[in-house]
Amino acid sequence: MDQPTNGKPEITVYTTDPCARCIRAKDLLSLRRLEFVEVNLAKDPVGRRDLAEFTGFTTFPQIVIDGRPIGGLQELQQADEEGLLEQLAA
């Protein structure tokens, strides 16, 4: 994944309410000491539509790292198991 010039990845977590998987994704990122921006689309139908067009998915959470959608909680957990989150935090 390409990283911005400051060396830190830009991570955006798109969420909705209520969403246990969203909480778990944010907890995992926090545990790995990765900063992220949360965008809650619970009351934003246009934002939901735009996100679905961008990522190809309508489920939550959706995680985007450096402008690239990586998927949801399952994909984030897989990236963590493969050591990718540790690399991002370095």
Q: What is the pLDDT of residues 5-41, one digit of tens each?
A: 467 899 999 999 999 999 999 999 999 999 999 999 9
- Element spanning 69, H or E: strand 68-71
pLDDT bin (cut points 50, 70, 90) of residue 53 is very high
Q: Considering the entire predicted model, what is its pTM? A: 0.90
Task: Check pLDDT > 60 for residue 4.
Answer: no
Q: What is the pLDDT of residues 60-90, one digit of tens each?
A: 999 999 999 999 999 999 999 999 998 888 7
Write the CB contacts of 12 (distance below 8 Å, at least 6 apart in sequence).
36, 37, 38, 39, 63, 64
- In terms of Cα–Cα distance, which of 58, 57, 67 is closest to 37? 67
Structural domains of the chain, with CATH: 11-84 (3.40.30.10)
pLDDT of residue 6: 66
**In the chain, what is the straight-line distance between the N-terminal and C-terminal CA atoms, in Å?**
13
